[in-house]
């Protein structure tokens, strides 16, 4: 071998030793942050060209292995449920391993991160995938029309990036400038934390507006970087479980994020039911379920939604109205007569559409719900 030459090899699977193909952006995946691939032995892998994003790569690879079932991925335990492996010194340009970490004067710092589920967990993931396909077909049959947002264009790496701060984010939220907030979120991930802080306000009009904006922003951000959005969801759930503070806006934001990207975060739907027992979060949870049911009624029907039936007799008119609206959207024929019993309830309530308040009555929502339920 000539002096100065380094031996380059094709990347291999750390589990079976077989050569693996070049990672790519596959059409079926809902997560797009890292190119991914599959080995013949069943392992999956993602490529991080910089080697600096291993945490995000770990999350995406595990979720990819679980068929984009976030709930399943979060419940798995390393070694007990799956194994991991890393192949370092990977050059994504030539699809080679470069031990000297330099190729023609270009630094090579990439990694391939691997996950292989144990047989029992892999079978569960396969069943989840089959169930998801069946639910998607059922959603289409029920009139579901969820649309995945278009892939965000790659931002020019040479552009002047902006740094987020509380005042800037507040100004953009007040102006309703979604495009600027999406750009800022790509530039500085602290934007999501500043947005979360803006939720904590007593006026419901401001909370619902901010929550809706967060849903729109994270929907677009998640087309390329879903992991920060998933992290935000977990922070919101943690904030809701903090008994020392009022979770103003947190449940509203969870509902907006899930509703805007049911294809990725739909598994969080069932967790909204946990907020039904608290008067401070019940209406926000119902609103979130209503938003999700607008495009994916199957996600709500797959939960113990029958536990909501007694809310049709709740003392609060808004709780009755939101429950009627939700049950209409999921075509709950099981309680159509209980819903119709409210057709003379002329109590005026406020509901929110795209973050904006709208006046209506329980009776008007009953009429709307009956139409949904009776549609063939």
Q: What residue ranges do the domains of the chain occupy?
A: 36-141, 155-289, 304-376
- Confidence (pTM): 0.69
Distances (CA, A) of 119 to 41, 43, 132, 261: 11, 11, 20, 30
Q: Which among 115, 108, 74 has a CA at the least distance from the CA of 93? A: 108
- pLDDT for the residue numbered 244: 61
User: Could you tell me which residues come within 8 angstroms of residue 234 by beta carbon, excluding any fewer than 6 positions away?
Assistant: none
User: What are the tens digits of pLDDT across the range 85-118?
Assistant: 999 999 988 999 998 888 888 889 999 999 999 9
DSSP state of 38: E
Distances (CA, A) of 316 to 282, 341, 349: 11, 16, 10
- pLDDT for the residue numbered 8: 63
User: What are the tens digits of pLDDT across the range 267-289?
Assistant: 789 889 999 999 989 999 999 99
Spatial separation of the C-alpha atoms in residues 150 and 353, rounded to whole Å: 22
Q: Which residues pair with 250 in a beta bridge?
A: none
- pLDDT for the residue numbered 104: 83
For 287, phi then psi, to 5°, come to -60, -45
The radius of gyration computed from the CA coordinates of the chain, to the nearest angstrom, equals 24
- pLDDT for the residue numbered 251: 95
* Regions of the chain with pLDDT less than 70: 1-8, 25-33, 132-147, 243-245, 376
Q: Which among 325, 332, 307 has a CA at the least distance from the CA of 361? A: 325
Spatial separation of the C-alpha atoms in residues 87 and 208, rounded to whole Å: 45
């Amino acid at each position: 071998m000539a002096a100065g030459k380094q031996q380059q090899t094709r990347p291999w699977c750390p589990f079976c030793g077989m050569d693996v193909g070049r990672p790519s952006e596959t059409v079926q995946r809902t997560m797009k942050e890292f190119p991914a691939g599959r080995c013949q032995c069943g392992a999956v892998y993602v490529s991080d060209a910089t080697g600096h994003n291993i945490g995000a790569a770990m999350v995406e690879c595990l979720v990819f292995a679980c068929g984009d079932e976030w709930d399943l991925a979060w419940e798995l335990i390393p070694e007990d449920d799956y194994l991991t492996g890393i192949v370092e010194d990977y050059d994504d340009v030539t699809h080679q391993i470069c031990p000297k970490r330099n190729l023609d004067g270009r630094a090579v710092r990439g990694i391939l991160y691997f996950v292989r589920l144990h047989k029992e967990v892999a079978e569960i993931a396969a069943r989840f995938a089959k169930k998801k396909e069946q639910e998607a077909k059922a959603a289409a049959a029920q009139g579901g029309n969820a649309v995945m947002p278009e892939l965000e264009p790659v931002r020019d790496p040479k552009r002047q990036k902006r740094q987020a701060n509380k005042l800037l984010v507040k100004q953009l939220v007040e102006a309703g400038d979604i495009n600027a907030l999406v750009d800022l979120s790509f530039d500085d991930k602290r934007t999501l934390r500043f947005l979360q802080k803006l939720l904590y306000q007593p006026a419901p009009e401001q909370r619902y507006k901010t929550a809706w904006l967060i849903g729109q922003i994270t929907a677009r951000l998640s087309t390329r970087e879903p992991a920060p959005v998933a992290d935000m969801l977990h922070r919101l759930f943690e904030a809701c479980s903090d008994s020392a503070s009022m979770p103003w806006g947190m449940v509203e934001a969870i509902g907006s994020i899930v509703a805007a990207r049911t294809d990725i975060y739909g598994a969080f739907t069932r967790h909204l039911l946990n907020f039904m027992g608290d008067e401070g979060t019940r209406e926000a949870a119902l609103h979130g379920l209503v938003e999700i049911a607008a495009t994916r009624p199957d996600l709500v029907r797959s939960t113990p939604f029958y536990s909501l039936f007694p809310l049709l007799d709740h003392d609060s008119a808004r709780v009755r109205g939101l429950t009627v609206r939700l049950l209409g959207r999921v075509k709950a024929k099981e309680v159509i007569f209980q819903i119709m019993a409210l057709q003379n309830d002329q109590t005026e309530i406020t509901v929110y559409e795209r973050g904006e308040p709208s006046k209506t009555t329980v009776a008007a929502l009953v009429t709307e719900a009956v139409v949904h339920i009776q549609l063939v």
